[in-house]
């Protein structure tokens, strides 16, 4: 769902008197539904397997590494989403943002850990390394393909400009005839100039004096369009560079063209080849971007799942008794939900952080809080927000 806000959180099972995860989830659901209509938000279980746990120091270090990896994967997802927009247009890109051929919201609502791709019997450090390498590889592949596509697209624009532009930019192959040029000579050459219509009189008055050795009265109109007039004149080759430089200074546009038989056919063949190449690369880039979006988004969510697991262990300790959930809503309601969660579960923060007179966690959590939080604002419970990209 475009514009959706997702809230990913974990609570200890002790939030329910029975200490049962199912009862804890029901209690969480009640907190969310108490202040919102049914259509304002949806809450779903977010099952996370149990991973091998190392030392406390290792977990703290991994929490920091996961925060950095989370930001890197998010940036990669944003980039591939931009590639999709570039290839198919912003209005059509949303239809290509799927995960395993499912809409993003369906994937998140029915999330299950991919035990084939990310084996849960591996250590967290091994999973971190695997995810990091996967993201770098996918990001590089997409970047390489998109760069090639952009180059071909730029070439296509240039070719199309040559076919449809004005006389200062378009190809002259279909306009000029061999008779428009002086016969091959050791000394003389034909110079082509695109003259802006408002400057036609200036051209006719000045072209003979732009450089030495311009053949008098050699200027001849070849064709005109709505903006320019294509003129030719004859000069001595020795002064062609000076003539072109002075012409540019006078706001005329020198056109480089060497007559050859079949030039028009060559231009048409080039245009067909570039158009075919652009279509092929467009399809390849779109397929790679669709697959890349799916794979990168999955990697991103698995990184977030690892973050929830690691932070839950750090916050709630052992044994592993916590329930994780994902809430789908919009940015406006996300603030209401966060306020409800804070009101219900601020007591989980204990006495480590300052509180106001009502018992709520203060915004100023101090150095200790800042060290635990990493890239997020402090919550008394494990909590992350992210947007649908």
| pTM, two decimal places | 0.79
Domain with residue 212: its CATH number is 3.30.70.100
Contacts of 316 (CB under 8 A, 6+ apart): 10, 12, 322, 382
What's the Cα-to-Cα distance from 349 to each of 56, 359, 362, 365, 380, rounded to whole Å?
19, 11, 11, 11, 4
What is the domain range of residue 121? Answer: 51-168+262-319
pLDDT in tens, 10-51: 999 999 999 999 999 999 999 988 777 777 899 999 999 999
Please tell me whether residues 63 and 160 are part of one structural domain.
yes
> What does DSSP assign to residue 167?
T
Q: Cβ(254)–Cβ(192) under 8 Å?
A: yes
Separation of alpha carbons 193 and 230, rounded Å: 6
CA within 13 Å, CB half, 354: 8
Q: Would you state the pLDDT for residue 365? A: 45
Please tell me whether residues 68 and 145 are part of one structural domain.
yes
Domain with residue 18: its CATH number is 3.30.70.1180
Mean model confidence pLDDT for the chain? 90
Please tell me whether residues 22 and 65 are part of one structural domain.
no
Please tell me whether residues 297 and 211 are part of one structural domain.
no
Three-class DSSP category at 351? coil
Helix (H) or strand (E) holding 194: strand 188-196
Please tell me whether residues 220 and 270 are part of one structural domain.
no
Total domains, the chain: 3
Q: Would you state the pLDDT for residue 376? A: 54
Phi, psi of 222 (to 5 degrees): -105, -45
Please tell me whether residues 281 and 380 are part of one structural domain.
no
Separation of alpha carbons 379 and 373, rounded Å: 8
The answer to whether residue 198 scores a pLDDT higher than 70 is yes
Confidence tier at 362 by pLDDT (50, 70, 90):
low
Please tell me whether residues 378 and 346 are part of one structural domain.
yes
Please tell me whether residues 128 and 273 are part of one structural domain.
yes
- The answer as to whether 142 is a domain residue is yes
- The answer as to whether 122 is a domain residue is yes
Confidence tier at 2 by pLDDT (50, 70, 90):
low
Please tell me whether residues 364 and 343 are part of one structural domain.
yes
pLDDT in tens, 318-333: 889 999 999 999 998 9
């Amino acid at each position: 769902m475009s514009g959706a806000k997702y809230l990913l959180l974990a609570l200890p099972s002790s939030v329910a008197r029975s200490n049962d995860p199912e009862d804890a989830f029901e209690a969480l659901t009640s907190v969310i539904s108490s202040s919102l209509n049914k259509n304002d938000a949806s809450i779903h279980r977010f099952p996370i397997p149990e991973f091998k746990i190392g030392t406390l120091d290792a977990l703290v270090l991994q929490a920091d590494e996961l925060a950095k990896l989370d930001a890197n994967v998010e940036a990669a997802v944003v980039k591939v989403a931009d590639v999709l927009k570039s290839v198919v247009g912003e209005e059509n890109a949303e239809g290509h943002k799927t995960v395993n051929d499912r809409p993003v919201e369906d994937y998140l609502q029915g999330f299950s850990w991919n035990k084939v791709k990310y084996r849960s019997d591996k250590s967290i450090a091994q999973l971190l390394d695997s995810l990091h390498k996967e993201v770098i590889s996918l990001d590089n592949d997409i970047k390489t393909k998109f760069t090639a596509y952009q180059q071909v697209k730029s070439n296509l624009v240039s070719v199309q400009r040559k076919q449809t532009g004005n006389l200062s930019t378009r190809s002259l192959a279909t306009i000029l005839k061999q008779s428009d040029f002086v016969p091959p000579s050791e000394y003389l050459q034909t110079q082509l100039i695109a003259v802006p219509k408002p400057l036609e009189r200036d051209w006719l008055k000045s072209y003979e004096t732009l450089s030495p050795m311009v053949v008098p009265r050699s200027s001849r109109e070849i064709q005109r369009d709505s903006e320019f007039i294509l003129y030719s004149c004859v000069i001595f080759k020795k002064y062609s560079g000076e003539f072109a430089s002075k012409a540019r200074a006078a706001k005329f546009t020198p056109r480089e063209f060497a007559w050859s038989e079949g030039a028009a056919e060559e231009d048409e063949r080039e245009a067909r080849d570039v158009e075919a190449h652009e279509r092929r690369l467009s399809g390849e880039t779109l397929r790679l971007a669709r697959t890349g979006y799916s794979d990168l988004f999955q990697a991103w969510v698995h990184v977030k799942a690892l973050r929830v697991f690691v932070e839950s262990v750090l916050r709630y300790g052992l044994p592993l008794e916590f329930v994780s959930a994902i809430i789908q809503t919009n940015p406006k309601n996300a603030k209401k939900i966060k306020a409800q969660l804070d009101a219900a579960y601020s007591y989980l923060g204990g006495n480590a952080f300052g509180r106001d007179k009502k018992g709520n966690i203060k915004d100023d959590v101090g150095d200790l809080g800042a060290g635990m939080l990493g890239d997020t604002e402090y919550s008394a419970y494990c909590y992350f927000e992210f947007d649908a990209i």
